[in-house]
Amino acid sequence: MSFIQTYQNDAVYPFLINTAPVMVAENESIAADASRTAALAQYTVMAYNPTTAKWVPWSSVTASDGTAYPAGILMNDGGFTAAQVVAGVTGGVAILVGGSGLRIDSSQLVFDTGVGGGNVALSLATVISSNAAGSGSATPYATVTAEKWLRNLGLYMQNVVVEDLAEN
């Protein structure tokens, strides 16, 4: 007679992998977006607009208003509904803006696809800027990706791999 054993892994893995010191900007605001049609999820990569002093989902690498660079991660539990973002009812926002060697689970990061802005999807591998060596040269020597930019903030990406061992 043979037996079949089933196993379900219901473990929830934390977004913050280690307990290094973190810097969180609290009581921030997200800019209203009248064309928003989808919710703004927790752990969305955000950009900061210094002109309006408000946060927006990072969705462009060519913006000239200061939002071309990821500057933090939305930490509000559950995020915000589309209606809240449209109405601008997004006070009391917590944004993770840095750390001291803080490791985060990159598989839980959310990249807004520019909902309402019609932008293409971004990722950790998205090139933000690439400088060329010498004038007129097309050879990049300092390519900066979103992952490298977040690393400059002290936020290090780590993939959490779940390994379940088979039972004898």
* Statement: residue 65 has pLDDT above 70: yes
* Statement: residue 139 has pLDDT above 80: no
Residue 149 in contact with residue 128, Cβ under 8 Å? yes
| β strands within the chain, DSSP E | 22-28, 45-49, 54-57, 72-74, 93-99, 102-105, 127-132, 140-145, 155-158
Task: Compute the average pLDDT of residues 106-110.
Answer: 90
Task: Compute the average pLDDT of residues 14-31.
Answer: 87
142 versus 80: which is more confidently predicted? 80
Average pLDDT, the chain: 80
Beta strands 102-105 and 140-145: pairing type?
unpaired
* Statement: residue 53 has pLDDT above 80: yes
* Statement: residue 84 has pLDDT above 50: yes
Predicted model pTM: 0.80
Residue 46 in contact with residue 85, Cβ under 8 Å? no
